Amino acid sequence: MKRLFDITISFVALVLLSPVLLTVALLIRIKLGSPVLFKQPRPGHNCELFTMFKFRTMISQTHDEQSNPLPDEKRLTRLGLWLRATSLDELPELFNVLGGQLSLVGPRPLMVKYLDRYTPAQNRRHEAKPGITGWAQVNGRNNMTWEEKFDYDLWYVDHQSFWLDSKILAMTAWQVIRRSDIAKDGHATVDEFMGTKKDSTTEGTE
């Protein structure tokens, strides 16, 4: 039922939003050049890798004239900030939903390099197919700690249902309209997950 729902909604959305997709693609091509799409491998269900699509929001340049890495704040353009604020940069992920790599609702697919940084419990987030939006996103989105996000992801894995997915989609629509919790306060993008620190009381024990 969930797969049928994903196919139906993503197909209808792609048809209805095709003028928006084409307009955004044209704007990116004019303002940022090619490529229009940002493609990156992400771990999906059971950690199986797939290529996720998003609209590009940053300039291609990654280093300054002194070969120093450019922070995301310097690479994000005004167009990119607007695309992120309106969540329009996420629209190409509907193709991933149609292809079966993503669901409309599920834990967000994160960076491949994070796989070795999860605790065994946190890695359970991959027991569900990743989604465009999820329980963590509607309960704070990017304005929370990584550990809080993972707690919400694991709660979803253990309680997922059609009705919960419907609730999350409705909450997501309201959140997009309000443009709330787009990024962590004081940051242009999300902080990198470096792993969960071990409890100091357990360090040095066997």
> Quick check: helix, strand or coil at residue 183?
coil
List the chain pLDDT tens, one digit each, 206 residues: 899 999 999 999 999 999 999 999 999 999 988 899 999 999 999 999 999 999 999 877 665 566 565 666 667 888 988 998 888 999 999 999 999 999 999 999 999 999 999 999 999 999 999 999 999 999 876 678 899 999 999 999 999 999 999 999 999 988 888 766 555 554 556 788 999 875 433 333 22
Number of domains, the chain? 1
Range of the domain at 161: 2-63+70-178
* Domain-located, residue 188: no
* Domain-located, residue 157: yes
CB 106 within 8 Å of CB 89 = no
* Domain-located, residue 35: yes
Query: How many C-beta atoms surround the C-beta of residue 139 within 10 A?
Result: 18
* Whole-prediction pTM: 0.84
* Domain-located, residue 29: yes
> Quick check: helix, strand or coil at residue 32?
coil
* Domain-located, residue 40: yes
pLDDT tens profile 124-167: 999 999 999 999 999 876 678 899 999 999 999 999 999 999 99
* Domain-located, residue 112: yes
* Domain-located, residue 93: yes
